[in-house]
């Protein structure tokens, strides 16, 4: 399976189908285990399992798929940031959360 963004922008049919797949994955033991680890994939901080949400690393709207390799558990804050930031701004956000030099954070 290719994770390239060649299908951008994804058509509605793709998104609809992949959302249905994601809904099914939500009921699997795989997802429960992933979420049960209680760690946000992006900021690596610890959270209560139920406060973690399902996120597609490559968004469905950019041609991402609902596969185990593309789905992660992340905290609400990261989820929101990811939604509202441009991809390049999102990179900066991650750098800030994970960066080695806390002085550069606002």
CB of residue 24 to Zn ion, shortest distance in Å: 24
Q: In this structure, what token pair is assigned to residue 76?
A: 């609400």
> Residue 26 and residue 76: Cα distance in Å, rounded?
16
Residue 40 makes contact with Zn ion by CB under 5 A? yes
Shortest distance, position 6 Cβ to Zn ion, whole Å = 29
Min separation Cβ 74 and Zn ion, Å: 5
Binding mask 52-91 for Zn ion (x = CB under 5 A): -----------------------x--x-------------
Please state the closest distance from residue 90 (CB atom) to Zn ion, in A: 12
CB closer to Zn ion out of 11 and 51: 51
Whole-angstrom distance, CA of residue 86 vs CA of residue 25: 27
Which lies closer to Zn ion via its Cβ, residue 34 or residue 40? Answer: 40
SS3 64: coil
Write the burial class of residue 98 (CB in 10 Å: 0-12 exposed, 13-18 middle, 19+ buried). Answer: exposed
Query: Using CA atoms, how far apart are residues 18 and 98, in angstroms rounded to an integer?
Result: 30
């Amino acid at each position: 399976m290719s994770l390239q963004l060649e299908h951008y922008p994804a058509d509605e049919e793709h998104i609809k189908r992949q959302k249905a797949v994601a809904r099914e994955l939500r009921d699997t033991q795989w997802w429960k285990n992933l979420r049960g680890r209680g760690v946000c994939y992006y900021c690596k901080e610890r959270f209560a399992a139920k406060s973690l949400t399902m996120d597609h690393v490559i968004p469905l709207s950019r041609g991402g798929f609902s596969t185990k390799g593309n789905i992660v558990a992340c905290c609400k804050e990261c989820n929101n940031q990811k939604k509202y930031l441009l991809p390049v701004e999102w990179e900066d956000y991650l750098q800030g959360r994970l960066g080695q030099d806390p002085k550069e954070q606002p």
